[in-house]
Amino acid sequence: MIWAIAFPLVWLGTFKKKSAQGRDKTFTYGYGRFSLIGAMVNSIVLVVGSVYMLSEAIPRILSPEESNAKGMLVLALLGIVVNGAAVLKLKKGDSLNEKAVMLHLMEDVLGWVAVLVGSILIYFFHWKIIDPILSIGITIYILFNVFNNLKSVSRVILQGTPEGANAEEIKEELKKVEGVSDLHDVHLWTIDGQYNVMTVHAVLEAEAMAAEVKSKIRQQLHHLKIEHVTIETEYPDEECGLSQC
């Protein structure tokens, strides 16, 4: 039980510390994506653990085994308290790595809940089959959440638009900025699922001042939770080789 808590927390601490490093000549956007490595590792561990749990639980459905109900009850209560405290500590975490670690610990909590319920049913009703059934149900639930977390991590690694953001809607919002006549070469992605980045070419009206328009665009994008933006301004009579990008 101690190792079940220590392993994900060690990974979380290691990658969280690394991802907090600022930019350098090697990683000019900083080390934010190192947190994704931690999320991937924890998710893979969860998948391997879940497969192992299924391999153990499925045969026990076909051939239920006698269990020490009282011993199971005591261990279950201890496991719920210890793992539950760790889950509550990570509940407010927003990073994909923290979510993966919380899933890892949640698996432990739910596993101990299954042991608790199973021990009660075995003790009072002698339902030996309930333990493997609960184990399979919880494992499927965990795998579903792990899949969603891996999908989010993959989206960040492949430089997809941040979850909840719509590039076309943002583009339409920016077109409403005074002095902007058109936009192109719009790219939007996220470094780590939290820090969002955007590059854009803004075609200005002939009389518009570039500095003023840039300031307005930055204000609008900050409101839309895009922290890092690179803006190139052009005028209608300029030719841009990236106009169709």
- The predicted-structure confidence for 35-85, as pLDDT tens digits, reads as follows 787 778 778 877 888 888 888 888 888 877 766 677 778 877 887 787 777
**Has residue 202 been placed in a domain?**
yes
Phi then psi for residue 53, to 5 deg, are -65, -40
Domain boundary among 111, 139, 157: 157
Same domain, 66 and 36: yes
Proportion of the chain above pLDDT 70, given as a percent: 80
Domain boundary among 134, 157, 180: 157
Mean residue pLDDT of the chain comes to 79
**44-58, 120-134, 177-191: least confidently modelled range:** 120-134
Q: Which residue has the tokens 């494992």?
A: 139
- Long-range contacts of 217-221, Cβ-Cβ distance < 8 Å, separation of 24 or more: 217/174, 217/177, 217/180, 220/173, 220/174, 220/177, 221/170, 221/174
Average pLDDT of span 129-138: 80
Is pLDDT of 5 > 60?
no
Average pLDDT of span 87-110: 67
18-29: pLDDT as tens digits: 666 777 888 888
Spatial CB neighbours of 169, under 8 Å, sequence gap ≥ 6: none
Q: Which domain holds residue 213?
A: 167-234
User: With bands split at pLDDT 50, 70 and 90, how would you rate the model's confidence at 201?
Assistant: very high
Same domain, 57 and 6: yes
Tokens of 197: 């980045």
Average pLDDT of span 84-107: 67
**Has residue 245 been placed in a domain?**
no
**Has residue 19 been placed in a domain?**
yes
Is pLDDT of 102 > 50?
yes
Residues pairing with 50 in the sheet: none
What total number of domains does the chain contain?
2
Average pLDDT of span 195-223: 89
Q: What pLDDT does residue 199 have?
A: 92
Residue from 151, 132, 143 nearest 56 by CA: 132
Average pLDDT of span 206-218: 88
Is pLDDT of 8 > 70?
no
Kindly report the pTM of this predicted structure: 0.69
**Has residue 243 been placed in a domain?**
no
